[in-house]
Structure 1
């Protein structure tokens, strides 16, 4: 059985973490498979949005500790540098919208990978936990980068040090994630968001993502200059012309992601 299942439907690349017996925890094989699939999504023009979820009861429980404690397994340092860091780098550099559909517990690296996606939604019974402090580690997978920016330094520090479990609805209330769905709505709700994004102007969405990424390091004047530069690029796309013409002609636009 493959550790990750992948299919393309309606211009969405559907990625499912598929180690349900260990709550979709990462081992080396799964991490490298995810690298490869994300690269395929990036290169394939048919894929205009990416949807990531987990099989079974969990989204992802983080690192498979059996691998860490295996004398023949990879070192902890290489797990961070070779497994997780490249995943987060891909999630942020792929100029297509990526949605995390958190179906159950998202713990440790699993939580931080979900939060590194462009939009994170969850099943109302799902939960998020910065589990690292429980075994004497620090949050990795860009948790210390994204979580304070999402919910503020005080809350991020408390969650990371105390290791509290946060329910999906509470995660929405504190600005950690975008939306929580009921059990009846979760699968279709997340799918509708992904398919809506896949029908939108992909180049414009990608440029928006680039601007947001660079906003973390730019001052105001640098960001204003970047917006001008990227707006010029967006204005040269097929989808911009289609959007303007559709507005003037009072019809629904048909975007091609070009």
Structure 2
């Protein structure tokens, strides 16, 4: 079964057992608006149903992997109903990527920030070029992580380290992120795709069915917790969107200045 390739915000190609999915909004560092997230969800579901495909590589076009949620889209969002619609797509995207019956690889270069980092963390293997900038930096606009960011950080580094990293909004290069326990492999600049290809080659000559059985066992035991975390994140995110600190964070971002938060 051939994959659909009529996407406006994605490049999709297949090679043997592998689907290569590229986020394709390079003019905005692949910021996640509703169209991109909806198309990504569609293609991941299509891949999940395709028995011929066993490996997925997620990467970004242009200068970075993904700069996170589209701030401009956030500014034009009106009311709680539109917010809930947006969050529904985020929640389904995270659970689909986390539990899909394929080996998933993120090949990161440049920025992987906010929701973009959450999506990368939902994959099985994280590769990052050494000068990449990885950040769970929602705190900079007075928000909490979404896309399962709390759960995915906790799963990789533990609750205490995750909490402090989220509080600080740490920006880490790949060596720092690897030492922290956040990613699996550091590669030289310009080599993330080549390293992903090496993983694909190694996995393609491995007993993939057995590997996927192990993934299914481990992921199924945690999926309910991820779903519960996503619900809590949505509730918290809506509350935080009403705060003075969030408004200040957004204004500071637009005006390219340091925010003056007041804890309100």
TM-score, with normalisation over the residues of structure 2?
0.77
- Work out whether residues 95 and 205 of structure 1, in 8 Å CA contact, stay in contact via their aligned partners in 2: no
Shift of 1:20: 0.7
Q: Deviations over 1:185-239 (max 9, x none)?
A: 3321111112322343332122111121144489xxxxxxxxxxxxxxxxxxxxx
Q: Deviations over 1:156-186 (max 9, x none)?
A: 1111111110111111112111001002533
Identify the match of residue 149 of structure 2 among 143, 150, 168: 143
Matched, 1:164 2:170: yes
Shift of 1:93: 2.2
Identify the match of residue 79 of structure 1 among 82, 86, 107: 86
2:162 match: secondary structure: helix
- Work out whether residues 129 and 166 of structure 1, in 8 Å CA contact, stay in contact via their aligned partners in 2: yes
Question: How far apart, in 2, do the equivalents of 1:149 and 1:3 lie?
Answer: 30
Identify the match of residue 116 of structure 1 among 119, 122, 129: 122
Question: How far apart, in 1, do the equivalents of 2:77 and 2:144 lie?
Answer: 22
2:65 match: secondary structure: strand
Q: Partner of 2:198 in structure 1? A: 192
Structure number with greater Rg is 1
Q: How does 1:211-226 map to 2 (within 5 A)?
A: 211-216=217-222
Ranges in structure 1 where 5+ consecutive residues have no aligned partner: 219-258
CA-based RMSD of the aligned residues comes to 2.0
Identify the match of residue 39 of structure 1 among 45, 65, 69: 45
- Work out whether residues 54 and 102 of structure 1, in 8 Å CA contact, stay in contact via their aligned partners in 2: yes
Q: Deviations over 1:37-92 (max 9, x none)?
A: 111111112211000000111111111111111156973332222x2111111112
Q: Partner of 1:64 in structure 2? A: 70
- Work out whether residues 11 and 195 of structure 1, in 8 Å CA contact, stay in contact via their aligned partners in 2: no
Question: How far apart, in 2, do the equivalents of 1:106 and 1:96 lie?
Answer: 22
TM-score, with normalisation over the residues of structure 1?
0.79
Count of matched residue pairs: 217
- Work out whether residues 12 and 195 of structure 1, in 8 Å CA contact, stay in contact via their aligned partners in 2: no
Question: How far apart, in 2, do the equivalents of 1:150 and 1:93 lie?
Answer: 16
Q: Deviations over 1:108-143 (max 9, x none)?
A: 110011011011111111121112111111111111
Ranges in structure 2 where 5+ consecutive residues have no aligned partner: 1-6, 225-264
